[in-house]
Amino acid sequence: MVGTGYLGATHAVCMSELGFTVVGLDVDEAKVASLGAGVVPFFEPGLEELLRKNLESGRLSFSTSFADAADADAHFLCVGTPQRADSPAADLSYLDSAMDQLLAAGLKPGALVIGKSTVPAGTAARLAARLAAEAPHAGLAWNPEFLREGFAVEDTLRPDRLVFGLPAADGGVAEAVLRTVYSQALEAGTPLVVADYATAELVKVAANSFLATKISFINAMAEVCEVAGADVTTLAKALSYDTRIGGRFLGAGVGFGGGCLPKDIRAFQARARELDAGHSVAFLAEVDAINLRRRARVVELATELVGGDVRGKRVAVFGAAFKPNSDDIRDSPALDVARALHAAGAIVTVCDPAAIPNAERRYPELRYDLNAVEAARDADVVLHLTEWAEFREVDPELVASVTRNPVIIDGRNTLDPVRWRQAGWTYHALGRPNV
Ligand code: UDX
């Protein structure tokens, strides 16, 4: 497993759990040491127990030396493809250097390199051409990964589908290796889609673009609901009974964040422009804009609710992770809003059950408190921006008793408005009338 970040670490543990002998490789010594000692360096329910169990089994190890995996039958590429600093395109430098190191360590005859990272269409063909030139005895397949943070183990052991992007002509060798790797899921009836490289690459970005579009669609409806005096949560519920639409990813609120959806829709547009198909995915620019507008709307509403100027006002932000059950703060809407209010002069205290260490390291200018009630002490306004179960269970009366002003914006539409209003709060939501 090349790369032991979110995807690679989970995959290494799960593959070992399935009975394979797995070496997790990473250039980051601290990560390798931590995983080797049985400590998952990020928050993922259920992963650490499984890591320890498999380390003990002897099937799983971690290393910084690619030579330790030179005799592997399958090499999974699980490195990150973040957004480039200088453009919306994907940064493929980790992928290219993973290939450099694999090739330097040597691949045994018949070995299969299996790309899992999310990449622009055309990347697999480029890497395959490189392999053909430098290690013609090895093959390449593209096998996109759809796991969600917070459900990574479940999604890896029981995926809802498998996609194999295969070379045009290798006599079925690559497919046979992948079928062995995924035999358990395939026997359990997991749907399999066999495709060419470009289709396999596109499935992943198309899936994430669709999910992002669905969220921005309902958030656009929330904007209209706000001016029409309608309720977007009721609207979404009514839409959800149409099985062609379905109810998932119709949660209106402060929008999507994380290490995948935002960067994937941007990289997709950049790649489509390169392929002269920019117009085909131009709508993704609007999806992105709607999403970012929701963050701005929370800042605007909070400013309005504290009297038009946040300078010196105290703001409590419930949430730092981009979504609950994660400590991932990449492109987190909650922290974006917190930082904007801080920049405008507010005194902002952020509460999160898991993401405070990451947030504190990255944004030391903000204040943090693990206790929601303490975070809300003397607050002029409370913002609920990541829907952790812990925040739903907070006692609104207790929080009201410590705030300066019991005003809350529910940026995820998951708190119970009746309960908060009964406790004396002025409850505002996104896309819902303020009754
Ligand atoms: C996503 C894809 O779901 C996954 O298949 C892919 O492999 C990686 O990207 P992830 O980033 O873990 O997974 O998060 P996801 O659960 O999809 O949520 C993404 C964002 O959308 C979060 O910020 C979440 O809060 C937001 N969201 C989700 C909404 O705003 N409304 C919704 O209804 C659903």
- Supply the pTM of this predicted model: 0.96
- The number of the ligand 1 atom at minimal distance from the alpha carbon of 248 is 33
Give pLDDT tens digits for 14-67: 999 999 999 999 999 999 999 999 999 999 999 999 999 999 999 999 999 999
Cα 107 to ligand 1 centroid, rounded to whole Å: 36
Whether 180 and 268 map to the same domain: the answer is no
Q: What is the 3-state secondary structure (H, E, C) of the chain?
A: CECCCHHHHHHHHHHHHCCCCEEEECCCHHHHHHHHCCCCCCCCCCHHHHHHHHHHHCCEEEECCHHHHCCCCEEEECCCCCECCCCCCECCHHHHHHHHHHHHHCCCCCCEEEECCCCCCCHHHHHHHHHHHHCCCCEEEECCCCCCCCCHHHHHHCCCCEEEEECCCCCCHHHHHHHHHCHHHHHCCCCEEEEEHHHHHHHHHHHHHHHHHHHHHHHHHHHHHHHHCCCHHHHHHHHHCCCCCCCCCCCCCCCCCCCCHHHHHHHHHHHHHHCCCHHHHCHHHHHHHHHHHHHHHHHHHHHHHCCCCCCCCEEEEECCCCCCCCCCCCCCHHHHHHHHHHHCCCEEEEECCCCHHHHHHHCCCCEECCCHHHHCCCCCEEEECCCCHHHHHCCHHHHHHHCCCCEEEECCCCCCHHHHHHCCCEEEECCCCCC
194/92 Cα distance (integer angstroms)? 25
Whether 95 and 203 map to the same domain: the answer is no
Cα 292 to ligand 1 centroid, rounded to whole Å: 15
Is residue 336 lining ligand 1, measured as CB closer than 6 Å?
Answer: no
Is residue 249 lining ligand 1, measured as CB closer than 6 Å?
Answer: yes
What ipTM goes with this model? Answer: 0.97
Whether 13 and 49 map to the same domain: the answer is yes
Give pLDDT tens digits for 336-393: 999 999 999 999 999 999 999 999 999 999 999 999 999 999 999 999 999 999 999 9
| Ligand 1 pocket test, candidate residues 151, 215, 233, 330, most atoms within 8 A of CB | 215
* Closest C-alpha to 28, from 52, 1, 57, 63: 63
Whether 348 and 214 map to the same domain: the answer is yes
Number of domains in the chain: 2
Q: Domain of 293: which CATH number? A: 3.40.50.720
Task: Take atom 3 of ligand 1 and give the residue whose Cα is closest.
Answer: 148
Give pLDDT tens digits for 249-280: 999 999 999 999 999 999 999 999 999 999 99
Whether 274 and 134 map to the same domain: the answer is no
Q: From residue 432, how far is each of 306, 337, 427 by CA, in Å?
A: 19, 20, 10
pLDDT number for residue 32: 98
Query: Of the residues 163, 190, 217, which one is the last residue of a structural domain?
Result: 190
Residue 120, domain member (yes or no) = yes
Is residue 147 lining ligand 1, measured as CB closer than 6 Å?
Answer: yes
Calculate mean pLDDT across residues 306-313. 98
In which band, very low, low, confident or very high, does the pLDDT at 434 lie, cut at 50, 70 and 90?
Answer: confident
Calculate mean pLDDT across residues 200-228. 98
Whether 155 and 283 map to the same domain: the answer is no
- Ligand-binding annotation for 263, yes or no, is yes
pLDDT reading at 170 higher than 90: no
Whether 173 and 202 map to the same domain: the answer is no
Residue 331, domain member (yes or no) = yes
Residue 1, domain member (yes or no) = no
Is residue 152 lining ligand 1, measured as CB closer than 6 Å?
Answer: no
- Ligand-binding annotation for 20, yes or no, is no
Whether 407 and 434 map to the same domain: the answer is yes
Residue 236, domain member (yes or no) = yes
Whether 163 and 278 map to the same domain: the answer is no
Give pLDDT tens digits for 76-107: 999 999 999 999 999 999 999 999 999 999 99
Is residue 253 lining ligand 1, measured as CB closer than 6 Å?
Answer: yes
300/221 Cα distance (integer angstroms)? 18
Q: From residue 192, how far is each of 10, 75, 138, 389, 392 by CA, in Å?
A: 21, 20, 23, 35, 39
Is residue 387 lining ligand 1, measured as CB closer than 6 Å?
Answer: no
pLDDT number for residue 228: 97
* Strand-pair category, 314-318 with 139-142: unpaired
pLDDT number for residue 179: 97
- Ligand-binding annotation for 308, yes or no, is no
262/169 Cα distance (integer angstroms)? 35
> In sequence order, what are the residues at sequence separation of 6 or more whose Cβ sits closer than 8 angstroms to the Cβ of residue 341?
299, 302, 303, 310, 315, 317, 348
Residue 146, domain member (yes or no) = yes
122/269 Cα distance (integer angstroms)? 14
C-beta atoms surrounding 31 within 10 Å: 21
Whether 298 and 343 map to the same domain: the answer is yes
Which domain covers residue 351, as residue numbers? 194-435
8/292 Cα distance (integer angstroms)? 30
Query: Of the residues 137, 155, 190, which one is the last residue of a structural domain?
Result: 190
Query: Of the residues 173, 190, 207, which one is the last residue of a structural domain?
Result: 190
Asked if residue 433 lies in contact with residue 229, where contact means CB atoms within 8 angstroms, the answer is: yes
Task: Take atom 22 of ligand 1 and give the residue whose Cα is closest.
Answer: 256
Whether 54 and 122 map to the same domain: the answer is yes
pLDDT reading at 239 higher than 80: yes
Cα 258 to ligand 1 centroid, rounded to whole Å: 7
Whether 46 and 162 map to the same domain: the answer is yes
Residue 116, domain member (yes or no) = yes
Active site residues: 260
pLDDT number for residue 399: 98
pLDDT number for residue 171: 86
- Ligand-binding annotation for 211, yes or no, is no
In which band, very low, low, confident or very high, does the pLDDT at 169 lie, cut at 50, 70 and 90?
Answer: confident
- The number of the ligand 1 atom at minimal distance from the alpha carbon of 255 is 30
pLDDT reading at 435 higher than 80: no
Residue 184, domain member (yes or no) = yes
| Ligand 1 pocket test, candidate residues 47, 204, 292, 323, most atoms within 8 A of CB | 323
Residue 293, domain member (yes or no) = yes
